[in-house]
Structure 1
Amino acid sequence: MAPPTEKVLQQRPAVAASVDLFLGMNQTEKRRAIELEAMKRNHQIASWRYEAVTLKLANDCRYTPDFLVINLLGQMTFEEVKGHWRDDARVKIRVAAAKFPEFAFVALRLEKGQWCMEVF
């Protein structure tokens, strides 16, 4: 009878999977995402997600805000980040704010390096 063979497991170093937090974002969205990530790491907000939620506004009409931001109290704000506004985007965020009053909706527009905020 042959002796039992021992399997030698090769040790591989643990490697964390790399996640691109900015995948699919334009430059304006990426700038805001960098700020949100810094706020999260400095414990100013609990969390943020990019295009994580799609809201149904009506039959065949949906709206996906750029960012979902959760503050330290668990309250959710949807942020729309724009370099410039198109009429349909402004209408959708207004309809969303009216239909879902339990959430805050804000638009951020970058002007001369500063964010201009509009609350809906």
Structure 2
Amino acid sequence: MDNRKQPRQGGMSRSLQALGRLKTGEMNKTEAAYGEYLKNRQLVGHIAWFKFEGIKLRLADNTFYTPDFAVMLADGSMELHEVKGFWTDDARVKTKVAASMYPFQIIGVTAKTKKSGGGWAYERF
């Protein structure tokens, strides 16, 4: 019996798929925790509205950037929040390109360790 991984429908084998990818619309643990944080900020009036994967920006032909959260602040200004456990070079480049092309403030968000006090660290693009 052949124990090698068999190609899936469409010819892509499991070994070629990106690790840790979830279906569109599904949050990972870090994104879910940040969504709860945004919900709490909304309850106290700092945020008017937010939506997970609510905006998709075209960067080039067949190249898109979908930030994790579209966020409308209480003053009506819009921000796009990109939540990462860690940044890859590809993700950082795509985020910088989107920030240079569109008039949104894009904010990179990473979780701080409990050792460093917890909460969130922010980087503006």
For Structure 1 versus Structure 2, the TM-score category normalised by the shorter chain is: 0.7 to 0.9
Q: Give distance in 2, aligned partners of 1:42 and 1:34.
A: 13
5+ residue gaps, structure 2, are: 1-24
Report the counterpart of residue 106 of structure 1 in structure 2. 107
Q: Give distance in 2, aligned partners of 1:84 and 1:71.
A: 25
Report the counterpart of residue 120 of structure 2 in structure 1. 115
Tell me the TM-score normalized by structure 1: 0.77
Larger Cα-atom Rg: 1
Report the counterpart of residue 87 of structure 2 in structure 1. 85
Tell me by how many angstroms 1:61 deviates: 0.7
> How do residues 1-120 of structure 1 correspond to structure 2 at under 5 angstroms?
24-100=26-102, 102-112=103-113, 113-120=118-125
Identity of aligned residues (%): 39
SS at match of 1:53: coil
Q: Which runs of 4+ in 1 moved over 6 A?
A: none
SS at match of 2:47: coil
Tell me the TM-score normalized by structure 2: 0.74
Q: Give distance in 2, aligned partners of 1:114 and 1:69.
A: 18
Tell me by how many angstroms 1:75 deviates: 0.8
Note the aligned Cα RMSD (angstroms).
1.1
Tell me by how many angstroms 1:37 deviates: 0.6
Tell me by how many angstroms 1:43 deviates: 1.0
Aligned length: 97
Tell me by how many angstroms 1:49 deviates: 0.4
